Every structure is written in C-alpha cells, then in structure tokens.
Structure 1
C-alpha cells in the first residue's frame, strides 16, 4: 500500500465523490551534467522514488478542477478559458495550454495531486507535476503521444507559463526513468542511453540545505543568457554550432577579452562540464565509482566558482563531504542557490555521515539539515 497514493485518492473521493485513476510521476536526481541541458550538452539523471501522485478522472462538464493536496489549495477554470495565473497554477495550466496548441480535445476533469518531494530541493517537483499531468491526460483522453513528445511539451509549458527557460533534462528523466539505471541524455539530439548504476556498497545521499531558490526570480535565466551571448560570439569566430563542438577551453581563450567576465566564466564551465559528463559515462562503463565521484567534486567547483550558482550553505556541505573518508563524490545538485547536495557515501557509513553533517550544519547555520537515501525508479506511469 502506498500512503501517498492513498492520500490523493481519498482526498479526490472526498472532494469529487467519484473514483479516479492514480498515476505516479517521479522526481529526479542528476549525477553530473548540471546547467548543460539547455546548452546542447550531455546530462546523467535518474528518476527517483520520491515524486508526485495524481488522482484524475473526467467529470462530464466543461470545468477543470484542481486541488494541490500539499498546499490545501484548489481552483477551477472553464475548459475554454485558460488564463495565466499565479504560483503552482501556472505549472498545470501551462500543460493544458500546450495540449490545446496541439489541437488536443480536452473536456472537463478533476485532479488531486500531492507528493513527497521537498520544495526547492532541486529534485524537480515542477517537472514531476508537469510530466505527470501530461502523461495522465494523454492516457485519459487517448492522445497517443510518446514520452519524448510529452517531455518536450512540458518544457514548452514551463517556458511559456511559469517563465523558466529550463532545459529538457528534468521532464525527460521523469518520463523516461528506469529503475536501477541512469540515463545519458543527449540534449542536442534528444535521445538517451541507459547505464546500469552499480553502486557496489555505496549509496546516493541527498543533503537538503533548506535554503530555497526561486528560478523564476531571474538568476537561472541570466545564466542562460550569458551562455547564449558567449556562444553567439564564438560561432562568429569558430566553425562550431554549439558548446559541445568545443572540446577544450583553450579554444576560447583568444576571445576572452571580447567577453564580459561572467560570460567567459559561464562558457568555460559549460565546456568543461560537457567533457566531465562524457568522462562520467566512461567511469560507469568501467565500474569506477571513485572516478565518477572525483568528477562530481570538480563539477561543484565549477558551479560555485565559475557558474556562480553556489551558496555558502551548499559549499559548506560539500566541504564536509570532502573531509569524510566515507564519501567519494559530492556536489550541489539542481538549479543552484541552495537545494540539495548529492553525495556518494559508503552504505555502512551513511547514518554517521548524515549525523555529522547535521551537527556541523546546525552549528554553522542554525538550520536543521535533512538527509535522504535515494533509490532509482521507473518513469511516470499509471499505478492503479
């Protein structure tokens, strides 16, 4: 019995008095490849066992009714009058808007959703909401859309309604996840390979800094603009189409003086991170978790020092991990400015590691740290 599924189903029955279908849409972790999905790079995410559950059924009316169980908030809107609103409502309305643009015929339905992804943690709760709703409606109304098509639709939805110019990774990983595997996602070709994740005595531990970010506040979009500005200049000077065509940072050095410092730093980070992600895939093929972990440490240095999306809290947590012999890799995960760090920790030492970090973090910041041992999961699907 799944308590989250039970929770949304029972709330649905109480609110709407009928029997819904139930779907699960997972959050995601990303081992490596941060902020390169919107730069045509490679990323290495996995779907996880935390996510969002949906209870949905048609209601034979012209009204669409949503209830966000975690917030205890509801709203209703006529099918033919989709309009941008505030907060979480834009994540679900964006999906409906994109389906309408594709001439998909949606009639009235009721939806209750809720989950166990901590907000602002960098585990992509927004993508889980968008992907889960899109997938459920695709099945409910028989649209016949594939998972990649749905992921691209959800990306457009987030661009156009909440206004976050996100890459494809979050939605894609949530929809395409496979238990026991990570995806090597090619964000230029929008295709993937599965790599078995053989942890061999190690566990994936997330430490939640409890420092929350709001990507729509502008910093995320600023980084993306910096990358676009830098690439435009490089394309004028070099025979390249994207950052992945630039295999070493030495190739951009002659043009450094023509870039704003923050633009150069972003370009350098992206080129190095695309290289690291390719190397990480080789590490998994060679069963070299230590090599993967070292690349994760290097990614954190780039995120904090070059891409400038770190913060004192996550820098502190990664430093704690570096100084712990049971940890072979750690970095900030997600959009930045807080959220979680992802750590590769000896399974036998997980409890001690989390307790040491809790004490040190509380002493330094007076914040109660949360830790989670993550498991991979299959992608979005109907569970009952």
Structure 2
C-alpha cells in the first residue's frame, strides 16, 4: 500500500469519512547558504520526499489530528490555539494564522505521514505547515493565494514552534516546479525559475548522521559577525543596509579596519551571492561541470571562511573530489551536520554510494544514509488513481 493510500485508509478507519488529500514536498538548497538573513539569493528546489495529509470537516468545534509517524492523536479547539510541545504546534500554528487573519474555520480531522527523513535538513516542518495551509484553504474553500500561505507557514514556525526561520524553506516547498530550481531574492521575495536538466546525472544526498550541538550558538554568532561587518561598511557607505549591498572591492578596501574573522564571514556571503547568480547562468547553459565547480567552491567557503562545516561533512565532500563520476558536492544547510548534496552520474550511483558509505563507516563508525532525489512540483492536491 502506498503512503497516500495508507493515509486514506487510516482516515476512513479513524474518522469514517473520505478525506481530501494533499501532497507537500521537502526541499534541497542547490546553492546559497547563510545568504538568506543577509538579504541575498538562494537557489532551492522541491524534492520527491513528501508529507501526505488527509482532511475532512467533522461538524464540530474540535480538531482531531493523527500523526502516522508518531502513532499519536492530538485534539484542540479553534478557541484555544496556544503553543504546546511537539509536532502539533506545526498544525495549530497554521490554524492560528488563519483565524488571526479573519478566515472562518470549523472543526476538522486530519491524518498525516511522510517519507521526508527527519533531521536531515530537508525541511519536513515547512512541508507539514504548507500541507496544513493548502489543505485548510481547499477544505473550507478559502482560495488563499500561495504566497500568503507561505507567509502563514513562516509565522506559524515563529509563533508556535519558536523558530525564527527565514522564508526559503516554506517558499521552496510551496512554489517548487518539476525540474526547475527557484532563485529567491530574500530581500524582495522576487523569484525566477531555472531549468534543472541533469541528463546523465542525478542528485544524491549523503546524510552524515551527525548533529553537533554548536549549531544554534554558531548560527547566532555568524549573524552578529555579519551585522558587525555591515555596520563598519555603513560608516563609509550610508546607503548600505545589508551585505547584499556590498561588493568584494568595497569590503577589501576596509579589510584593515575589520577583525579578520568578520572579514572572512562577510567575504563568504558576498562570494556566495555571486555564486548563486553564476550557478543560474550555468543551469541555463546546461553546463553541469561549471555548476559542479560552484558547489565545491561553496563548500570551501562554508568550511574555511564561514566555518560552519565539521570533520564528517568535510570528509564526505573531499572524498568525491577526485571521482570522475561526481561533478560537484557541498554541505547543505546551516552546518555542523546534516547532508551533503552530490551531483553524481546515474550509471555510477550505486557504486558511488557503496564506496563512500564504506569509507565513512571506516573513518567515523557511522552508517551513512544516501537518498536519491528528484526535483518536483510544490505543495498541491493529490488524487489517488
């Protein structure tokens, strides 16, 4: 039985009615890391790892939500939308945004489950929030624009999950297109699509299986270091409001006035923004070798200048450098763990996976998880055939 069929059968068994089905994808970020909070560019894409959700009205003021993965039901009313602990916050948070915006909801039932690996940095929470948003919009015929749903998902994460995230994850999951990457301007929210025609190549994610505790504190410190750099540049160029407005030459002229660490952080962000633009050009020209080279340069910047990598991620990327079957590789996400993104020849995928898994096991004693992913459409209705 497929996952959508399991959602339907569980729904019928628990709640006794036919559900409306939604499919909401996870996402990868091809390039553009730590640029979002510097008002820069990112290049994400929705992938074929999903959360599926079933919805139906239940003619009451009560909302019953069942998680297949946690095998747990939670119940709330629309008059008591306050944060709790755990996964229910992602559902209640979106409902609270709708109610706060003046939309009229009634009691509903929901069953959800997915195959997005948890903790791998593929944005399962954004997929869930988007799925809830589109599901409620469809169920109650609210006709909410997708960009508004994206904003409700982000605000739900801020208010109920307590995570002050950027908008990229929700945007990519909701607005993704099959075989297209989405370049998002994190300042204006303007976006454009670029073709991802991989030909004989495919995306392969290698999950390091580690999550170092430095991540949260280091993230906040990097933001502060970028802010310091902007403040100094502003003293000479008052029109600058973020690193997005600074070019490499301007920064270089002020190098002696900046702490070395701050200079390296700012240099990385400026270069990464440029790499996003250049990567889009490479995709348009279907130049995968050039695109792969940008992936490696992105990783070098993240590891050496931004210092958010870790030995496990560096090992996984370095392992690929001399392999003819790999066009490019880099760490993906905030850092200190999670996945590497690899552009690998389809014909060599299994051999590559076996080789890198054995080497990683030998070096770190950790079983590597590898996932093949494809670029797909964003959150939408799902119909069983």
Q: TM-score range by the shorter chain?
A: over 0.9
Cα 1:342–1:135 change in 2 (3 A) is same
SS state at 2:161 partner: coil
* Counterpart-to-counterpart distance in 1, 2:194 and 2:340: 22
Q: Which moved more, 1:177-186 or 1:256-265?
A: 256-265
* Counterpart-to-counterpart distance in 2, 1:131 and 1:229: 35
Aligned residues: 382
| Correspondence for 1:245 | 245
Q: Which moved more, 1:34-43 or 1:343-352?
A: 34-43
SS state at 2:336 partner: coil
Cα distance, 1:315 vs. partner? Answer: 1.1
Cα 1:296–1:253 change in 2 (3 A) is same
* Counterpart-to-counterpart distance in 2, 1:199 and 1:327: 12
Q: Is the 8 A contact 2:215 2:335 kept in 1?
A: no
Deviations 1:220-246 (A, max 9, x none): 344334433433443343232332221
Cα 1:227–1:213 change in 2 (3 A) is same
* Counterpart-to-counterpart distance in 2, 1:194 and 1:72: 38
Q: Is the 8 A contact 1:28 1:124 kept in 2?
A: yes
SS state at 2:337 partner: coil
* Counterpart-to-counterpart distance in 2, 1:43 and 1:24: 24
Cα 1:139–1:301 change in 2 (3 A) is same
Q: Is the 8 A contact 1:213 1:339 kept in 2?
A: no
**1:130 to 2:151 alignment:** no
* Counterpart-to-counterpart distance in 2, 1:72 and 1:336: 31
Deviations 1:190-228 (A, max 9, x none): 121111111121111111111246899554344334433
Q: Is the 8 A contact 2:215 2:336 kept in 1?
A: no
**1:158 to 2:185 alignment:** no
* Counterpart-to-counterpart distance in 2, 1:103 and 1:55: 24
SS state at 1:372 partner: strand
* Counterpart-to-counterpart distance in 2, 1:224 and 1:71: 34
Deviations 1:239-279 (A, max 9, x none): 3233222121x322454566555544332221111011011
| Correspondence for 2:50 | 51
* Counterpart-to-counterpart distance in 2, 1:62 and 1:38: 39
Deviations 1:167-199 (A, max 9, x none): 211111111111111112222221211111111
* Counterpart-to-counterpart distance in 1, 2:258 and 2:98: 40
| Correspondence for 1:168 | 167
TM-score by length of 1: 0.93
Q: Is the 8 A contact 1:53 1:115 kept in 2?
A: yes
| Correspondence for 1:364 | 363
Deviations 1:310-362 (A, max 9, x none): 12211111011113121110001122221111101111111111110110011
TM-score by length of 2: 0.93
Q: Is the 8 A contact 1:164 1:216 kept in 2?
A: no
| Correspondence for 2:6 | 7
* Unmatched 5+ stretches in structure 2: none
Q: Which moved more, 1:100-109 or 1:279-288?
A: 100-109
* Counterpart-to-counterpart distance in 1, 2:93 and 2:215: 15
Q: Is the 8 A contact 1:247 1:275 kept in 2?
A: no
| Correspondence for 1:196 | 195
* Counterpart-to-counterpart distance in 1, 2:233 and 2:7: 50
SS state at 1:94 partner: helix
* Counterpart-to-counterpart distance in 2, 1:111 and 1:38: 34
Q: Is the 8 A contact 2:36 2:42 kept in 1?
A: yes
| Correspondence for 1:283 | 282
| Correspondence for 2:292 | 293
